[in-house]
Amino acid sequence: MLRALIWDVDGTLAETERDGHRRAFNAAFSQLGLTWSWDVAYYGELLRITGGYERLMHDMASRADAPQDAAQREELAREVHHLKNRHYAWLVRQGRIPLREGVRDLIEDCVREGVRLAIATTTSRSNVDALMEVHFGLEWAQRFASIACAEDAPLKKPHPQVYTLTLERLGLAPHETVAMEDSPNGVAAACEAGVPVLVAASEYFKEHDAVRPLALGESLAQPLTWNQPACSDARVGLDCIRTWHAATVAA
């Protein structure tokens, strides 16, 4: 029986990367007088590295104009990342980052039907707070039984830590939950923890060759794009997910 839906944040709840985190990184670079700028395509390559701090460290490793001393480089990365998160929160509060279609409806299905909600993300807590406050109000966290972010699970996806921690906090077995993800790293993390996963592919992650999701589609609002028997609803809602989940668990 499905008892909880575990949500990834970036790319799944909202398209946060191209116009959110990427722009915020560029604003932080410029604020610090750095001439670096990540364009849309290059940022897509960098997204293979999960974690904004780790992504930045990865990029700096190939830059001649980044500090060569390891301690200085880490200090700069921490400073940029901190500023980036402030710019990101500002962008979110300007209303620039809408929820993906079908997300609010599915969250409301869960609240109405007593399926618990959780968040399992590699992003920083402050970024999650900014996004959720804008879309669900200041009391948003009360709807979620567990909120696990980068600070709680420092081993980032594709490592399963954030999922195993979430299961532990929920007191549930993996097969009693479903994860909502968008990226190959996210799917790998959920699968490694044994959690069946639904993938609503995001703009940076259209290809999902090497992964084994429970179901894969383009958007919760477009049920006919999913690789599973179409639901009768006009969207992928809780009834539909329950049907797919029950078939997988029984198999």
Q: Candidates 2-10, 60-68, 105-113, 163-171: pick the segment binding ligand XBP (CB under 6 A).
A: 2-10
> Minimum Å distance from CB 63 to ligand XBP?
18
| Local structure of 219: helix, strand or coil | coil
The nearer residue to ligand XBP, 172 or 189, going by C-beta atoms, is 189
> Minimum Å distance from CB 234 to ligand XBP?
26
The nearer residue to ligand XBP, 123 or 177, going by C-beta atoms, is 123
Among ligand XBP, Mg ion, none, what does residue 164 contact (CB within 5–8 Å per kind)?
A: none
- Helix/strand/coil percent split, the chain, to 5: 50, 10, 40
Per-residue binding string, Mg ion, 162-201, x by CB under 5 A, is: --------------------xx--x---------------
Alpha-carbon separation of residue 4 from 11, 100, 153 (angstroms) = 20, 20, 19
Q: Candidates 63-71, 179-187, 207-215, 222-230: pick the segment binding ligand XBP (CB under 6 A).
A: 179-187
Query: Are the C-beta atoms of residues 223 and 235 closer than 8 Å to each other?
Result: yes
Which residues within the stretch 84-123 sit at the binding site for Mg ion (CB under 5 A)? none
> Minimum Å distance from CB 167 to ligand XBP?
17
Q: Catalytic: 8? A: yes
Look-up of token digits 């499905």: 2
Report which of 216, 221, 185 is spatially closest to residue 98, judged by C-alpha positions: 221
| Binding residue (CB under 6 A) for ligand XBP from 157, 179, 188, 237 | 157
- Tally of residues, the chain: 251
Directed axis angle between helix 70-93 and helix 22-31, to 10°?
A: 120
152: tokens are: 């709680």
Torsion of CA 57, 88, 221, 205, to 10 degrees: -20
Q: Rule CB under 6 A: say whether 11 interacts with ligand XBP.
A: yes
Whole-angstrom distance, CA of residue 116 vs CA of residue 142: 11
What does the binding site for ligand XBP look like in residue numbers (CB under 6 A)? 8-11, 17, 21, 50-52, 121-124, 127, 150, 157, 183, 185-186
Enzyme catalytic residues: 8, 10
